Amino acid sequence: MSDSHSYPHEPTGVETRKLGFWIFLSTEILFFGTLITTFMIFKGRDFPGIKLTDVYDIPFTSVSSFVLLMSSLTMVLAHNALENNDQEKTRVWLLSTAMLGAVFLAGQIYEFTEFYHKGFELSSNIFSSTFYVLTGFHGLHVFIGVVLLLALWGIGQRQKGLSLDGGMNLEFVALYWHFVDIVWIVLFTVVYLI
């Protein structure tokens, strides 16, 4: 960032911001790892009364998982379009990614309200607490992702358009978005299917 002429660039051969971002993502693994571990530990314990697992709506969640998965596709297409400097396509794919993300979020909100009406509040029992905190933490990530995508889309509308150089550009948002997606791949299996 502060390089002047005589200063060499990146002895590792990886762009500095990208390197920093990947380290951030590696750390995120530990965040979600802790949450998932807690979930697994408490999942093994029996509690009296109706279980949250009994009210899962697997078809519904499968569809929203699929939606999130496909948003990764649109994201990578947006990235690809920008690599070819096709601003128009980039914006289209960006917006569709944000929309798919929003659909997923809406699905999660719907799911949470359903569960809530069936009597599962945050503090009802340990299992619903872990469920809400784990999936909610992921939902928060998706929300931040959607905001970032929309911000990018907004910047893309300006005269100059988007580029892959400079600050918090599309590449990082894409990495972040895919990361949120892979976390969901794990969560879908761990939380719902197993």
Q: What is the DSSP letter of 53?
A: G
Supply the minimum distance, in Å, between the C-beta of residue 73 and another protein. 4
Smallest gap from Cβ 117 to another protein, in A, equals: 19
Helix segments in 84-125, DSSP class H: 87-117
Q: How far apart are CA 159 and CA 125, in angstroms?
A: 53
Residue 4 vs 117, nearer CB to another protein:
4
Q: How many residues bind another protein (CB under 8 A)?
A: 82
When the beta carbons of 34 and 113 are compared against another protein, the nearer one is 34
Considering beta carbons, is residue 7 or 117 the nearer one to another protein? 7
Binding range to another protein, per CB under 8 A, among 38-46, 95-103, 112-120, 156-164: 38-46
**For another protein, which is the closer residue by CB, 102 or 133?**
133
Is-contact 132 122, C-beta < 8 A?
Answer: yes
Binding to another protein (CB under 8 A) within 109-148 occurs at: 122-123, 125-127, 129-130, 133
Q: Which of residues 1-30 bind another protein (CB under 8 A)?
A: 1-20, 22-30
Task: State the binding string over 155-194 for another protein (x if CB under 8 A, else -).
Answer: -----------xxx-----xx--xx-xx--xx-xxx-xxx
Instruction: Using the minimum distance from each CB to another protein, give the nearer residue, 61 or 105.
Output: 61
**27-32 — which CB contacts under 8 Å span 24+ positions?**
28/179, 28/183, 31/137, 32/137, 32/138, 32/183, 32/186
Closest to 187 (Cα-Cα) out of 57, 81, 33, 30: 33
Token code pair at residue 147: 């905001």
Distance of alpha carbon 172 from alpha carbon 162, whole angstroms: 13
Tokens of 122: 């945050």
- The residues in 43-102 that bind another protein, with binding defined as CB under 8 A, are 44-45, 47, 58-59, 62, 65-66, 69-70, 72-73, 75-77, 80, 83
C-beta of 19 vs 109, nearer to another protein: 19
Instruction: Please tell me the distance from the alpha carbon of residue 43 to that of residue 127, in angstroms, as a whole number.
Output: 7
